[in-house]
Structure formats: C-alpha cells, structure tokens
Structure 1
C-alpha cells in the first residue's frame, strides 16, 4: 500500500542524481501498486455493518474513490513543486510553519505508521487463525510475531525488505483478479444492485451511514498522498502525472467496486457485516474448500507485504525527525546498524505497534489513524490554495486541473469525514486528537533545549 520514493528539492545539489526516465505506464502502475493494499480484502465487513444495504455499501466505495481521486490530483501539485525528503511534512512546513509540520511528523511516528502495522498484523493473525482454525487466544501473539519478524527482516537492509515487497506485490494481484473473474462466472442467489439507494436498514440515516462508511473505506484508498513523489523522475510530469493519478485512481475505484460486488454476490449484506472471516468465506464460495484456502494464503502473503511496506517506510520517519533533533533521545534514534538501517527508530515503532496490538482491534486502529491523517491531508489541500497566493512564482511542473474546483471537492470531502467522525465516533476521534496533542509539550521542550544548547555554545565561544 505504501511505496514512498524520496526526492530532493531543486536547490539540493543531489537533485541532478534524479534521472527523468519514468514514462506514463510505470507511473500508472506505481499509483495503483501504492494504493491497493490489505483494505480491499477486509474493510468490506466494516463498511457493510455501517451502511446496512448493498446499494449504500457500493455507493460509499464509489464516493470514497471520488474524494481520493480529487485528493490525489490536488496533493500531487505540492509533491511536484516541493520534491523534498519528508514529503507531506515539508508541504505543511512550507505553508504553515515548523510547528504544524512537527505535529504531523509526531502523529505519523506515534499513530499513523505504528497503527497501520498493528491493524494489519491483527488482520494477518485473524485470517491465519480462521484458515487453520486456531484458538482465538493466539491472535495477539501471532500479530506480535508477524510485526516483529518484519522488523527483523528490515534490519537486514533496504535491499532485503525491498525484495520482499516486490514478491508480495504479485501475491496481492492474484487473489484480487481471481475473485473478480470468478464472481462474474459463478451463479448466485443474492441480488446486488446500486439503485435504488436503500437506507432504511440503517437506523442512523444516510448521512451518518455515509460518514462512518467513508472513514472505513478511506483506509483502503489510503496511499494516494505518496503517488506525487514520482514527479521528479517523470519525463513529462505536467502531462503524465495527472493522467497516471486520474486513470490509476479510476482503475482502483473499478477494482474496489468489482471486488465488493463479488463479496455481496457471495453472501447477503447481513452475513458480511462485521464478519472477520468474510475474505476466506468468499474465496471458498467461489473456489471450493481447497481453492479457497489457496486464495486465502495469497491474501495472507499480500497482507504480510503490506505490513512490510509500513515497517520499511515508517521506521525512517523518526530517524529523519531525529536528525533535526526534533524528538526526545534524538541521538539514539539516529543510530544505524551495519546494514545502514535506523534500527533504534525501528525499535521505537515496533514497541508502539505492539502496545496498540494489545489494546485495539483492526477497525478501531485503522479508523483512528485515518481520522488523524485526514486532519493533515485536509491541511495539504488548503495549502495548495494558500501557496498559490503566497508563492505564485514557485515552479510548478504540474498544476491541479480544474483549479480551484478539484481542491475544493477534496477539502469539502475531508471536512465531511472529520466532522462525521467527531459526531459518530467521538471517543475514537478524541483519542487521536489527544495523542497528537501530546506532541505540543515535546515540541516546546525540544525548542527550549535547542535554544539552551545554542546559548551554552555561544557562552563558551
């Protein structure tokens, strides 16, 4: 789901090392490969429980895709104009200053990456438990072992973890393609249609259902913020980047729509709702007992690879912040092992992830991390408009099309998700806000420590 490519700003002397060799089709595959992850298999159960009808279920997936499409097209403008290491942290810093940028980095270190690792590890353990009919008491130990094993693999170096990522990419595509194709060939007693939109099965009403459903589906669509980071290596970013994002996100919407159709065709909506074994049961429905197990193994490999992507990229963020002395114990977090991997930052990430595995379930963790990250995503959308006014002469190799309509759709979509989450899942939203707010005293302390160090150095001179 995550494949971040770091690039440098134009003023950076290393900018010349970036070769503009990427054409449209590699860019398109990067977009789709970055976004499609474990959520496509496991969020259907959560969405169906909040929508209560097949038609509203499919509508939520389509609406989430439209918001993500506008978000991707909007965020790519900043990625192309500010191709610096740190990505979104640098966009926020450029538009709003160091403090909001630090809070984003803090939220990613404390919530976003560890919660992704924890949520996906729980899903991996749950599916392994269902596949081999293991005791439910083994779910947490298996989740911890899965996340720890990937941390150790990443400690062996970027080449090793990158090779694992490439192998698991294939495993991700096989079960998706197989389920979609067989769903069209198989007979079904379940009728699935988009219209009319049915809402009477959900007591909270359509607005509440849409809000809760969108929060769940956004986990599956998450990753679009990183697709703009390939701008520095595109031969023609102004032409190819919007095409790659637009067609890529449309392709993802189609894949998600088809696979959810396959889910709904295999079982009634009330059987799908909150069913943590739904992916395996759907596979068995289409392929029989043995074939279903093989497809489920493919899904497990895919999830394992998705966890690897978050472990690999997540451990480098506290390292990056520590280099700038923005975190407590920065001198420890910058340490590298013999494979040039920030292993102390990796230990920090896995420690937080294990705590989350022990305290939260998949849907709770994934919904919380999406709520928190969408606060900053929405700030990025606003930053596009803000920097158009603040820095009109900034070189923009790509500009968001239909400006300001597409950024406004992304902003309104982001606000809608955040407001409805505060209304429907206030304790979860409050937890995310409080964890992010813990970064405020950390920032103030680090700023004070930096000033004291500067005064001490000046006195000695």
Structure 2
C-alpha cells in the first residue's frame, strides 16, 4: 500500500484555467445590469464608459495578481496572499467574508438568475409559483430550483476535479459562442436611427426617468451615480480570481495562473463591451433603461432574432449561469481547505475525499449558498457583494507593495507589469469606488462591513480553540511517552 499522502493533482492546463476565469465571470450580470447602469447615467457614452472603467479595473487587478500567484502557486489564492502580505487575521477576515457573502452570495445570486430565466421555458418554476407559506415568509418554485442547481453542481464537484473541469470548459465555450452569436446577429439588426439618437449628447450625465425625462445631478451626486452604476458592472466582472484558489491543481502554475488571468479577463471585457454596443445599436436608450424586469438582453434578442428571441436568450442565460456557478462552486471550497489547514476553519474542510477534492468544504458552501437563495434578492446580494469584493481586491493589490519590501528575495517568475504605476492606478480607482459607495449606497455597505467585522471575534475564537487543541495534543503525546517508559519499552534501532 502506498504511504503517499492525499493531495491535489496538477490536472488543469492553460486552456482549462482560462475557461475557469472566463466562465466564473460570465454569469447573469451582462444580460441584466445594463438597465440599472443606464438609469443612473442616462447616456450612451457614460454607459459604455462605466463598462470601460470596470474592464480596466478588472484587467489591472488580474495582471497584478499574476505576481502573487507566481510567488504562492498553491491552493487558497487570495486568502494566502493577504495572509502573507499582512497577517493571518487579515487573511481570515477575507476567508470569512468569502464564505459568508462573497462566494456564497455570488453563487446564490447566479442561482436565482438561473431560475428566473428558466421560468421563460417552464412557467411552473417561476417566482410567482408559491409552494410554501411560513408566516410572512414565502418559498417559491424558483427559489427551490436555484437551490437544486447549487446542490446538483456540488454533487458533481465532489466526484473529482475532472468532472468540474469538463463541465466548466464545455459550458464556457458554449456561452462565449452564444455571446458571439448575439453580437453578430445584433449588429446585423443594426438600426442607424436608434444608434444616432442614442449617441446624441452621449456624454451628458443625468438620471433617466421612466417617463423619458432627465434629472440633473449636483457634482457630488454625479460621482455617486457613477459609483452606483458601477455596482452592476463590477458584479458582472468579479470571480476571475477563482483560478488562484485552485493553483495547486494547475500545471506549471507559476506561468499559467497569471497568463490565464490576463487572457480570461481581456476576453470577457471585450465581449461585455461588444454586447453593450449591440444594446445601443438595436434599442432606444429608454428601452435599455426600462426593459421589463431589467432583462435588457431579452429585449435586444427580440430585435436580433425575432419572435424566437425570448426563447433563445433564456437558453443562453441558463447555459451561462449554469457554467458560472460550476466554476464558483468548484473553486470556493479550496479556500476553506487552506484555512482549515491553518486551523482557522472547520477541521473537516481540510481533508480531501477519495476523489482528491475537499468534499466537506463543498457541502458547507452549498448550505450557506442555499440559505441565501431563499432570500431571492438578486439586487441586494449584488450590492453587498460588490463593495466587499472590491475592498479586498484593493487590499490584495496593496499587498504587492508590502511583499516587495517584506519578501524582496522570493522568486517572482512573473511580475506586475509597469509596477508601481498600474497597481497604484487600480488602488486609486477602487478606493474612489468604495468611498463613493459608502456615501451613496450606505445600507448595503454597512451590511457588508458588519459581515467583515463579525470575523474579528470569530478569528480569536478559532485561534483560542486551535491553541487548546494543540495543548491537548501535546499532553496526549506526553502521556504516551510516559506510558511507554513505564512499560519498559525501548526505542527501535
């Protein structure tokens, strides 16, 4: 029998890693959030600029993370980077936030979106189909479907990385091709009069009202409106860092993690910009802003594909959200695994099953995400997740500066390009975004900060329990030694 300890296998190549980056990013947001963005900024130029700024932020962060991934090419990703750059407390606060809202909240939001669009094909699973009443609390068929999808993908990922890899690569390729089809047919349905009208006064920044009128902003309110508009685009562009969580399972991680981050984020950014240009090419600005239930992609697909557009778009979004959630579920448990190895999470989460995946971590992630699915509040989850995610992105990029001084001699096969300019630029943009959200979406920000703050007592409780466990283990070993001596045992040569 082999005495080799179970561990992660290097089974993912560059293509697999890039598909995890792109597949984790492309979920439901690109099909929905442009409506909210347009309501806030009220013009085509600012709508596209919001996506451009978000794309620049995303690529800047991703290429900067490449340096960190080359320094620490193992499971855990951002949790490991923060722990090394600062201290275990900061790493734990990220890990706790990741478990309680960032990853699980994103899984839930994408699951809710999956069920909403599935209801186009099967009205029996719609939000209006209430299956259970618990006082004022109601459970709909859509909520149960979103939970069922989360459970199904969790089961698949407990069977080994190979299953998750195949699903992720297949569904990501399909949804990229689907987006490419929407872009192609959308531009074929190009309406010059609509395009011209949308780009009239393209850089005027104001609120677009339901009656078609505009409301002007004060200067400070205008900054807040841009930040609020970016909540949707940021949410649509997060989760690219998931590939760093599974670095321990990627072939040649010092090269391929950083390269997959750049390729995946660049691809998705270009696709997002093209899709939004399609919206502007076929729909008047007001129709983008006030599409039914914010389903702007459905409205655009009707113009691009005709009467079958609703059906086609529903299938596209089902594919997109299914593949997105697979990537999120696959990667998330690797963070809990690394935290458990540090004694800062449930001990069972640090064990691999016979298929060499952290099954316990997958299941507790599933439970929390399923509970969040019951909220059914896509928009609330989106707002809370965006602030907390960018806050930790910013801290991680600052960590690059700290590690350059703290660990100058550590090998860096890949370095952040144009250091320190590009990392500093990201920090400035993300800091402005977070500060503006504090002033203009305070309720969601406070909710996110409270979740982070809860991590402080949990950290010290975990440290205390870990210390007590070590003391007990030490006493147990001493007792064994004493018993061995009493029994007259002698060391073996």
With the shorter chain as reference, the TM-score category is: 0.7 to 0.9
Q: Is residue 417 from structure 1 mapped to residue 433 from structure 2 by the alignment?
A: yes
- Look up the SS of the partner of 2:446 in the other structure: helix
Aligned counterpart for 1:455 among listed residues 465, 471, 482: 471
1:143 maps to which residue?
146
Structure 1 residues 27 and 359 mapped into 2: Cα distance closer, same or farther (>3 Å)? closer
User: Which stretch of structure 1 is more off in the superposition, 99-108 or 153-162?
Assistant: 153-162
How far has the Cα of 1:170 moved from its partner? 2.5
Q: Distance in 1 between matches of 2:216 and 2:112?
A: 29
Q: Distance in 2 between matches of 1:105 and 1:26?
A: 25
2:384 maps to which residue?
368
1:50 maps to which residue?
40
Structure 1 residues 185 and 164 mapped into 2: Cα distance closer, same or farther (>3 Å)? same
Q: Distance in 2 between matches of 1:44 and 1:312?
A: 28
> What value does the CA root-mean-square deviation take over the aligned residues?
3.2
Aligned counterpart for 2:203 among listed residues 178, 181, 197: 197
Q: For residues 126-153 of structure 1, what are the alpha-carbon distances to aligned partners after superposition, in whole Å with 9 as ceiling and x for unaligned? A: 1112344454323222222222222233
Q: Contact (CA 8 Å) 1:71, 1:224: kept in 2 or not?
A: no
Aligned counterpart for 1:109 among listed residues 99, 102, 122: 99
How far has the Cα of 1:181 moved from its partner? 0.7
Q: For residues 280-299 of structure 1, what are the alpha-carbon distances to aligned partners after superposition, in whole Å with 9 as ceiling and x for unaligned? A: 23222211223541343132
Which consecutive residues of structure 1, in runs of 5 or more, have no partner in the other structure? Answer: 1-13
How far has the Cα of 1:87 moved from its partner? 1.0
How far has the Cα of 1:340 moved from its partner? 4.5
Structure 1 residues 197 and 333 mapped into 2: Cα distance closer, same or farther (>3 Å)? same
Q: Distance in 2 between matches of 1:178 and 1:394?
A: 45
Aligned counterpart for 2:333 among listed residues 290, 315, 319: 315
Q: Distance in 2 between matches of 1:294 and 1:230?
A: 36
Q: In the TM superposition, what are the counterparts of 1:179-328 in structure 2 within 5 Å?
A: 179-188=182-191, 189-191=193-195, 192-193=198-199, 196-201=202-207, 203-204=216-217, 205-226=221-242, 233=251, 237=255, 249-273=265-289, 275-327=293-345
- Look up the SS of the partner of 2:344 in the other structure: coil
Q: Distance in 2 between matches of 1:235 and 1:452?
A: 36
Structure 1 residues 28 and 166 mapped into 2: Cα distance closer, same or farther (>3 Å)? closer
User: Which stretch of structure 1 is more off in the superposition, 86-95 or 26-35?
Assistant: 26-35
- Look up the SS of the partner of 1:403 in the other structure: coil
How far has the Cα of 1:109 moved from its partner? 1.2
- Look up the SS of the partner of 2:412 in the other structure: coil
Q: Contact (CA 8 Å) 1:283, 1:296: kept in 2 or not?
A: no
How far has the Cα of 1:242 moved from its partner? 7.5
Structure 1 residues 343 and 402 mapped into 2: Cα distance closer, same or farther (>3 Å)? closer
Q: For residues 289-320 of structure 1, what are the alpha-carbon distances to aligned partners after superposition, in whole Å with 9 as ceiling and x for unaligned? A: 23541343132112111111112222333233
User: Which stretch of structure 1 is more off in the superposition, 407-416 or 290-299?
Assistant: 290-299
Q: Distance in 2 between matches of 1:255 and 1:454?
A: 51
Structure 1 residues 206 and 194 mapped into 2: Cα distance closer, same or farther (>3 Å)? farther
Q: Distance in 1 between matches of 2:468 and 2:223?
A: 52
Q: Distance in 2 between matches of 1:416 and 1:337?
A: 44
Q: Is residue 386 from structure 1 mapped to residue 377 from structure 2 by the alignment?
A: no
How far has the Cα of 1:336 moved from its partner? 5.4
Q: Distance in 1 between matches of 2:460 and 2:259?
A: 43
- Which of the two has higher C-alpha Rg? 2
How far has the Cα of 1:347 moved from its partner? 2.8
User: Which stretch of structure 1 is more off in the superposition, 78-87 or 34-43?
Assistant: 34-43
1:97 maps to which residue?
87
Structure 1 residues 288 and 19 mapped into 2: Cα distance closer, same or farther (>3 Å)? closer
1:430 maps to which residue?
446
Q: Distance in 2 between matches of 1:247 and 1:194?
A: 34
Q: Contact (CA 8 Å) 2:81, 2:399: kept in 1 or not?
A: yes
- Look up the SS of the partner of 2:206 in the other structure: coil
Structure 1 residues 313 and 396 mapped into 2: Cα distance closer, same or farther (>3 Å)? same
How far has the Cα of 1:20 moved from its partner? 12
Q: Distance in 1 between matches of 2:309 and 2:382?
A: 29
How far has the Cα of 1:18 moved from its partner? 6.2
TM superposition outliers: structure 1 runs of 4+ over 6 Å: 17-21, 25-30, 228-232, 240-244
Structure 1 residues 177 and 145 mapped into 2: Cα distance closer, same or farther (>3 Å)? same
Structure 1 residues 234 and 74 mapped into 2: Cα distance closer, same or farther (>3 Å)? same
Q: Distance in 1 between matches of 2:443 and 2:76?
A: 30
Q: Is residue 405 from structure 1 mapped to residue 421 from structure 2 by the alignment?
A: yes
Structure 1 residues 89 and 126 mapped into 2: Cα distance closer, same or farther (>3 Å)? same
Q: Contact (CA 8 Å) 2:70, 2:412: kept in 1 or not?
A: yes
Q: Contact (CA 8 Å) 2:32, 2:297: kept in 1 or not?
A: yes
User: Which stretch of structure 1 is more off in the superposition, 114-123 or 284-293?
Assistant: 284-293
- Look up the SS of the partner of 1:190 in the other structure: helix
2:63 maps to which residue?
73
- Look up the SS of the partner of 2:374 in the other structure: helix
Q: Distance in 1 between matches of 2:453 and 2:69?
A: 26
- Look up the SS of the partner of 1:359 in the other structure: coil
